């Protein structure tokens, strides 16, 4: 409406207001259709989000389980390394668990230090010869044999 074209009667004013309200109603109805569509999309996205959250929680438990297995494998590798170093250092396998260190070099150093405390047993001296002296030369054995014979008759 222009400024010169003002309504002169109440009916003209009512007509103008009804036209304006009809346009507003069409706009609201068009937006309301979009609103229902958006509500549907939001509900679907919330359902997806819930499913994704459950998957994330499940993967967290998987990550924890994976970390536990990796820790267990690391323990086995460390035990195997300690045993091989103990064998190389001449330590008994029962003492391999007592080695301490984070890497191979520190374990080797500890094994060398530990092997210094455990002295290898000196082999025992050979036993005294308990065989009697049979005499000199090759006839000594025959002589002993003859001496052992019982010559008394039957």
137: left (phi over 0), alpha (psi -120 to 50) or beta: left
Dihedral sign from CA coordinates of 34, 36, 40, 46: positive
Domain assignments of the chain as residue spans, ordered by start = 10-120
Whether 58 and 51 have beta carbons less than 8 Å apart is answered as no
pLDDT at position 91:
86
Is the confidence at residue 121, as pLDDT, over 80? no
Instruction: Please report which confidence band the pLDDT of residue 147 belongs to, taking 50, 70 and 90 as the band edges.
Output: confident
From residue 111, how far is each of 8, 33, 51, 58, 76 by CA, in Å? 111, 79, 54, 44, 18
Tens-digit pLDDT profile for residues 34-75: 777 888 889 999 999 999 998 888 888 888 889 999 999 999
Is the confidence at residue 32, as pLDDT, over 90? no
């Amino acid at each position: 409406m222009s400024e010169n074209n003002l309504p002169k009667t109440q009916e003209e004013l009512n007509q103008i207001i009804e036209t304006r309200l009809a346009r507003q109603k069409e706009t609201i109805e068009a937006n309301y259709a979009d609103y229902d569509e958006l509500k549907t999309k939001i509900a679907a996205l919330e359902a997806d989000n819930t499913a994704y959250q459950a998957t994330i929680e499940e993967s967290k438990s998987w990550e924890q389980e994976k970390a536990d297995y990796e820790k267990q494998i690391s323990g086995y590798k460390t035990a195997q390394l300690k045993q091989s170093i103990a064998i190389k250092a001449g330590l008994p396998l029962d003492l391999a668990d007592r080695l301490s260190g984070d890497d191979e070099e520190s374990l080797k150093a500890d094994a060398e230090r530990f092997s210094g405390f455990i002295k290898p047993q000196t082999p025992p001296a050979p036993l005294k010869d308990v065989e009697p002296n049979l005499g000199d030369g090759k006839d000594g054995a025959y002589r002993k044999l003859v001496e052992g014979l019982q010559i008394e008759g039957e």
